[in-house]
Amino acid sequence: MRVLILHGSRMGSTREIAERIAGQLRASGLQADAVAAGDRPEASGWDAFVIGAGVYAGHWHSDAVEFVRANRDVLSEHPVWLFSSGPVGSSATTHEPVEPKEIGQFRKIINPREHRTFGGAFDRANVDQAGLGPASKFIASRFIPEGDFRDWGEIEAWASQIAHELRRSVAIAG
Contact 4, 33 (CB under 8 A): yes
Contact call for residues 116 and 83 (beta carbons, < 8 A): yes
Q: Where is pLDDT greater, at 24 or 10?
A: 24
CA angle 88–4–110, rounded 5-degree value: 80
Q: Which is more confidently placed, 48 or 96?
A: 48
The mean per-residue pLDDT over the stretch 137-142 comes to 57
How far is it, in rounded angstroms, from Cα 13 to Cα 24?
Answer: 17
> What number of other Cβ atoms are within 10 A of residue 163's Cβ?
22
On whether the CB atoms of residues 150 and 120 are closer than 8 A, the answer is yes
Q: What is the pLDDT of residue 7?
A: 97
Average pLDDT over residues 148-160: 93
> Could you tell me the domains of the chain?
2-173 (3.40.50.360)
Closest by CA to 50, choosing from 108, 15, 1, 7, is 7
20, 153 contact by CB (below 8 A)? no
Report the chain's mean pLDDT, rounded to a whole number.
87
